[in-house]
A and B are shown apart, each in its own frame.
Chain A
Amino acid sequence: MTKVIISVLGKDRPGIVAAVSRVLFERDCNIENVSQTILQTEFAGIFIAGIPAGVTAETLHQGLTAGLADFKMYVQVKPLAENGSPAPPPVAEPFVITTSGPDAKGLVARITAVIARYQVNVTNLQAVFKGGSEPGDNIMIYEVDVPTHIDQQRFRQDLQDQAAALGLRLTIQHRDIFSAMNRI
């Protein structure tokens, strides 16, 4: 069984997930992973599904587009690349970077530019921008994997410098501290 990755985007309303999963079920596809979220009023869902012989990404796209016609959703379906033998990822430790401060354009771009420069991978990003000047109203949370071989002090300093230039307060802490305190 080959796999496809399906992206569904559009205005949120009840029934979207049911419609997607019904189309997949009718075509004997097996949903393996799903992640969905709602940002403000917009729905975003990603599905990875195994598809049987005879079903292609194209025919599935047609089916989903028809099945979601009432919802006016944007749908994309593409085959999932085989894993092959990619280079092993570097040894890394999970950290959480948070920034808070007044809203402005380019905050995420500039912070992630520093993160990318050190080959640090962002594994999850949550940004809550209410657009105000109250630091508590505008918070970004980056979960990242920091390779152990990089210069941690310089990485931290560069992040702090960038945050200061943007008027943000930045913290970087090992993920374990959040897990230890909140999860038993």
Chain B
Amino acid sequence: MLSYQEIISTLEMLKNEHLDVRTVTLGINLFDCASHDLGTLQTRIRDKIGRIAEALVPVCDQIGDKYGIPIVNKRIAVSPIAVVCAPLGPDGMVAIARTLDACAREMNVDFIGGFSALVEKGIAAGDRSLITALPEALAETERVCASVNVASTKAGINMDAVLLMGRAIKAAAERTAGRDGLACAKLCVFANIPQDVPFMAGAYLGVGEPDSVINVGVSGPGVVKKAVERALASHPDLDLGQLSDLIKRTACKVTRVGELIGREVAELLEIRFGVVDLSLAPTPNVGDSVGEIFQSLGLLAIGVPGTTAALALLNDAVKKGGAFASSHVGGLSGAFIPVSEDLNISDAAAAGHLSLEKLEAITSVCSVGLDMVALPGDTSAETLSAIIADEMAIGVINKKTTATRLIPVPGKKAGERAHFGGLLGESVIMAVNNGVGPNAFIRLGGLIPAPIQSLTN
């Protein structure tokens, strides 16, 4: 017999605290579709995605109904296209992006990720074609997401790739100038990219993964915030050790929701279950914000002194709770701080509490990095590359994943607002120090060697 309190607390999390399964992501290996011929490749990709993903959305809807927990996004992640389609040139890569976009529409999924390349140590022909194709591919498609891993703790930072990505981002923004550079919102640059992350825009199916796999991303910033508020309201003398324990236990509950639902979706689709990614992923709604957690912990806003310590506590507690709840926790599992997607963080940036520099500092203890950051349109490609390089260095030295999703908004200056719509939200454009001038350091190129921490064997 369930207790009254158990039932009510679960219902509260769902009704008032925005607990949901943020995404079920079906990974599909496309390596067996490889061909020199573009038409053959497209046909094989369409056939394979169609065969495996056909039931994804109906099954997710069915399971969401059964448990009364919405599965907000259904997505597909495929093998890195730069490898699958290595023989193609940039035009061929764009054609493949269109094919993926059409598949996503046909399967009724929100996004399809995997227009990706892994170039942390060097750029192969297919990788170069894909990076060259990025601006057009992202501007001409709606649901295709791209990621490029330019650094790892084992390989170092590929500064040639970093420079190329700065240029690609700039070009992608210009191709979608009428939409505030929207194409860049679908492009992540990574260090130490995980192979199983279910969240976009970074999702792809890693080389070491099975032929198909279900990965689940659970979210719950509202649940954590409410738990902290309730606890402090009834026990104002709680210290940070006790609050960390509270967050850990809350994260555990949330992770178990993801595992239950993910396993059932996988079972019905007869596909292997992969991981739960417990990341506190916000939406641009009040009450569903990571930034609000900082306020519930007593900070004026995210970005003020104390923020880094608070985020370190939060991220660690989330990981500990997730690790206890499931033996298959993967992806990023921590706290996302996407500026435009989180109303509270966006407001903190607009109020001047959060600067780009502080944002970079706190990414050293969070899951992702400079995520959904709108920058002035005149930020140079070299400056974009330099910001990327800084963020990659944090990931490489700290043996963790970091990423950037930077959006230089064409024609707009710092302090103006960029609007991306829907879940991507809107944000004030953040100022960049010395954003316009040349940057000879970045132009030096080459490979920043792997740090001493890489010698672990």
Contacts and interface: CB of A to CB of B under 8 A. Distances in A.
Contacts of B3: 182
A141 B67 contact: no
Interface string B43-80: 00000000000000000000001111100000000000
Given A98-B11, A180-B256, A180-B257, A173 B2 contact: no
A172 interface: yes
B10 interface: yes
B65 to A, nearest CB: 7
A184 to B, nearest CB: 8
A92 B270 CA distance: 22
B8 interface: yes
B276 to A, nearest CB: 12
A179 B8 contact: no
Given A143-B1, A171-B68, A172-B68, A177 B10 contact: yes
Interface residues of A, number: 23
In the A-B complex, the 9 residue pairs with the smallest Cβ-Cβ separation, listed nearest first, are A173-B68, A182-B6, A180-B256, A177-B67, A180-B260, A181-B253, A174-B66, A178-B2, A174-B67
A182 B4 CA distance: 12
B403 to A, nearest CB: 30
A126 interface: yes
B7 A98 contact: yes
A128 interface: yes
A96 interface: yes
A17 B68 CA distance: 40
Contacts of A27: none
Nearest to B2: A178
Contacts of B9: 182
A11 interface: no
22 contacts: A124-B1, A126-B4, A139-B8, A141-B7, A156-B65, A171-B14, A172-B68, A173-B68, A174-B67, A174-B68, A176-B67, A177-B10, A177-B69, A177-B257, A178-B2, A178-B10, A179-B2, A180-B259, A181-B257, A182-B2, A182-B3, A184-B252
A175 interface: yes
A174 B63 CA distance: 10
Interface in B5-60: 6-11, 13-14
B4 A177 contact: no
Interface in A140-158: 141, 143, 156
A106 to B, nearest CB: 22
A96 B2 contact: yes
Contacts of A178: 2, 6-7, 10
Contact of A181 (B1, B10, B66): B10
A180 B326 CA distance: 11
Point out which of A128, A143, A171 has the most chain B C-beta atoms below 10 A from its C-beta: A171
Nearest to A183: B6
Given A174-B67, A176-B260, A181-B253, 11 more contacts: A98-B7, A139-B4, A141-B7, A177-B10, A178-B2, A178-B7, A180-B256, A181-B10, A181-B13, A182-B3, A183-B6
Contacts of B253: 181-182
Contacts of A180: 256-257, 259-260
A181 B3 CA distance: 12
By size class, the interface of chain B is: 20 to 34
A136 B408 CA distance: 47
Interface string A16-57: 000000000000000000000000000000000000000000
B365 to A, nearest CB: 28
Nearest to B5: A182
Contacts of B65: 156
Contacts of A175: 2
A35 to B, nearest CB: 9
Nearest to B3: A182
A126 B9 CA distance: 15
A87 B68 CA distance: 32
A22 B397 CA distance: 72
Contacts of B1: 124, 143
Given A124-B1, A143-B1, A171-B11, A177 B68 contact: yes
Contacts of A98: 7, 11
Interface string B118-162: 000000000000000000000000000000000000000000000
Given A98-B7, A98-B11, A177-B68, A143 B257 contact: no
B67 A128 contact: no
B138 to A, nearest CB: 38
B64 to A, nearest CB: 10
A176 B260 CA distance: 8
Contacts of A128: 4
Contact of A96 (B7, B13, B252, B259): B7
Nearest to A156: B65
B329 to A, nearest CB: 15
A156 B62 CA distance: 13
Contacts of A174: 66-68
Contacts of B7: 96, 98, 141, 178
A177 B8 contact: no
Nearest to B261: A177
A143 B2 contact: yes
B246 to A, nearest CB: 15
Residue from A173, A174, A181 with most neighbouring chain B CB atoms (10 Å): A181
